[in-house]
Amino acid sequence: MSRTKETTILLNMGGPRNFDEINTFLVNMFNDYYILNIKNSFIRGMIAKKIVNKIRPDVIRHYEAIGGKSPINEYTEKLINKLNELDSSRDYKYIMNYTPPYSYDVLKELKENNIYNITLFSMYPQYSEVTVKSSLESVYKAMKKLKYNPKVNIIDRYYDNEYYNDSIVQLIKNTIADKNAEEYILIFSAHSIPKMYADKGDPYEHECNYNVQILREKLHNAGLNFKDIVISYQSKIGKIEWLEPSTIDTIKKYNSEKLIIYPLAFTVDNSETIYEIDIEYREESINKYNIKDFILCPCLNDNINFAQSIIEIQNIHQKQNLNMHYNRKIV
């Protein structure tokens, strides 16, 4: 590794590479303070264990249906390779929050190689404490443990970036291909978060709505005039109130229509796109709601336009000095 280069680290949630990692993924996720908002780590761990024991059989069944692993790791590695090919000024790595490679191991290697200029690049385009802040705190805890204090640049959102949104428009255009957009309802399905976060000022809902507003205009300018464009939220867990409307209720609303769904809050495919949407929602749409056509647009994954947008977003931040002054408070 060149010691003169800046290292950019892509941050994402992770996902199991095999059945053995499913339990690791679930335990780490539900033991996250920002997922299960309980300050006492012992109590949080006990409750997390109960939740995992309850949902594990269903989760295993979901992964069985998609080949026994999440695609998030393979796509991320392909994206890293593409970025390293396209951008010789930086070295690219990635950290996952709930499965390897973890913050500690990646940062330990950087410290050993005397890398003291890094950029943390969130793979979540909209900011939320539940996702982005959780990933950043994991990194800072590892830095503290390693006594590693590099210069840190942070890109924690880019939902309003032109390059990023142009990549989405092109992907949707490629996905719908020769079909008539005017016959389709476009649903931007975002991962939901507990409503209590939004009520406390978490900007996620606002940023998702604004992102859709930008995309609606760009799609129109690209000649893609859908019958309707709406936002919905998926992946609710438990009985507390989450952001709505739910994706499945939105599908039900458009009974007998043709649908195309884009996973707004994910940049890389995972079980919540290829199982929850493409299997679970697809079956329910066709069998219950007489949906005439159901198209899932893939995430950007290792798309070259997305890779180039990641590079351009960093260049813009460097030129305009837009680095976030993140509060390194460790929970």
CB 183 within 8 A of CB 295: no
Separation between Cα atoms, residue 208 and residue 220, nearest integer Å: 18
Q: How many helices (H) and strands (E) does the chain have?
A: 12, 8
Rounded to whole angstroms, what are the CA distances from 183 to 170, 227, 252, 317? 19, 6, 17, 39
Per-residue DSSP letters for 24-51?
HHHHHHHT-TTTS--S-HHHHHHHHHHH
Give the separation between CA 301 and CA 304, rounded to whole angstroms: 9
CA dist 141 and 147 (Å) reads: 10
Q: Where is the binding site, in residues?
A: 191, 272
Q: How many CB atoms lie within 10 A of CB 89?
A: 12
Instruction: Give the number of other Cβ atoms within 10 Å of residue 305's Cβ.
Output: 16
Binding residues for Fe(2+), as ranges, are 191, 272
Q: 35 and 134 in contact (C-beta within 8 Å)?
A: yes
Pull the structure tokens for residue 59: 């989760």
Q: Report CA-CA distances (Å) from 44 to 38, 40, 41, 51.
A: 6, 6, 5, 11
SS3 56: helix
**Alpha carbons 250 and 190: distance in angstroms, whole number:** 12
Give the DSSP H or E segment for 57: helix 41-65
Please give the single-letter amino acid code of residue 320.
Q
Under 8 Å between Cβ of 70 and 19: no
